[in-house]
Structure 1
């Protein structure tokens, strides 16, 4: 489903290199200190940044040099990136057609996704008229209408209060299960990571220092947990 082989990217003085294999339907938490390369990893997969060397395979196809629009991925950021002058329906519709000229099938798809994220009553409103949680639901819906098999999340819920964050995590679990999505989520919240993903990557200085069970890392039973500021039981 997703394979990175010696994917290399230089950021200022830091040389980042990633080797990674992810199966279809896996959920991966991406953890690590600030500036370690977590967001860069997602941007390389999405095509927003270009690797100097190495290869990137998505769905069995080589996407090392393809444009973001050609890649079978959708990406959700901490900033929901909704257009303030467009209604919620129009913002979501942009995921289907940049000119908002939707055919009947696309309109049906939009309504199905809107129902799934419980935003039916919000469609005619502007983003400013919605709560923070509703805006993130709308941004997630815009990702989902594209119906891509890989979903990339870059700290999408960190600005939400605990109740809203929990609400979004419940929705995300439901959506991933129903659609069998492959998920990679950057997070600084270890509880969120353990809840949403069985597997975790710990990124340090542009390299993967840990690739294993999330619960094992969060429990502090491996030495790498110390990188996250946790007390460890490892000898």
Structure 2
């Protein structure tokens, strides 16, 4: 087992008595593995199992190994896995800065300095006091990415995070997300319906029936 890898060993998920997924893959540092397939084929269910919040109606077994550590039985908050969804899921009652501070341990030094730096890195320097409701869809996606990066995950799961963006903005945000993941050398699983997402990821592509 290599460091900075996400190993999904013999994962089998069933819905009732019906087999849904069998999965056995390794995602390397900085690699984006794409999972495609029709609705109901189990793409998001796989992400839920990896992240630790598989709904009770499913049964599953198989190991999730992250950086040599078996995290299969750890609660979601202990897994060090970052997630991006279709919606940015920003807290509406907090400013941009408040949303980003939420991702940082309260005992960390120079928290506001880290917020300023991450905002600059996603092209939104000076947006600290903005209300999330005043941001465009692309800007909200950038803040969601910044929040994920501040949390210092060891792996990333992407559940169609670009699907609500128009084509030009989709390509722009997608390139930014993949760049940050590769720079941070994070293993990543992307769920998408869009072949352009898979092509841009430049990693292995798995198709569910």
Native 8 Å contact 2:30 2:183 kept in 1 = no
Distance 1:177 1:53, change over 3 A: closer
- Aligned residue among 171, 176, 180 for 1:171: 176
For residues 63-116 of structure 1, the C-alpha deviation after alignment (integer angstroms, 9 at most, x for no partner) is 11001111121001001111111101111221114xxx4643333332222111
- 1:3 is aligned to 2:7: yes
Tell me what 1:207 maps to.
Answer: none
- 1:116 is aligned to 2:116: no
- Aligned residue among 71, 80, 99 for 1:91: 99
1:168 deviates by: 0.1
Tell which deviates more after alignment, 180-189 or 10-19.
10-19
| Greater C-alpha Rg | 1
Root mean square deviation of aligned Cα: 1.8
3-state DSSP of counterpart to 1:19: strand
3-state DSSP of counterpart to 2:158: strand
Q: Distance in 2 between matches of 1:109 and 1:102?
A: 13
Q: Distance in 2 between matches of 1:83 and 1:35?
A: 29
**Relative CO higher for 1 or 2, CA cutoff 8 Å, sep ≥ 6?**
2
Paired residues for 1:17-56 under 5 Å: 17-49=22-54, 52-56=60-64
Q: Distance in 2 between matches of 1:17 and 1:102?
A: 41
TM-score by length of 2: 0.88
Consecutive unaligned residues in structure 1, runs of 5 or more: 205-235
For residues 166-195 of structure 1, the C-alpha deviation after alignment (integer angstroms, 9 at most, x for no partner) is 110221232123212212111111012101
Runs of 4+ in 1 over 4 A off after TM superposition: none
TM-score by length of 1: 0.79
1:118 deviates by: 1.3
Paired residues for 1:163-202 under 5 Å: 163-202=168-207
Paired residues for 1:58-97 under 5 Å: 58-97=66-105
Distance 1:24 1:177, change over 3 A: closer
Q: Distance in 1 between matches of 2:61 and 2:171?
A: 39
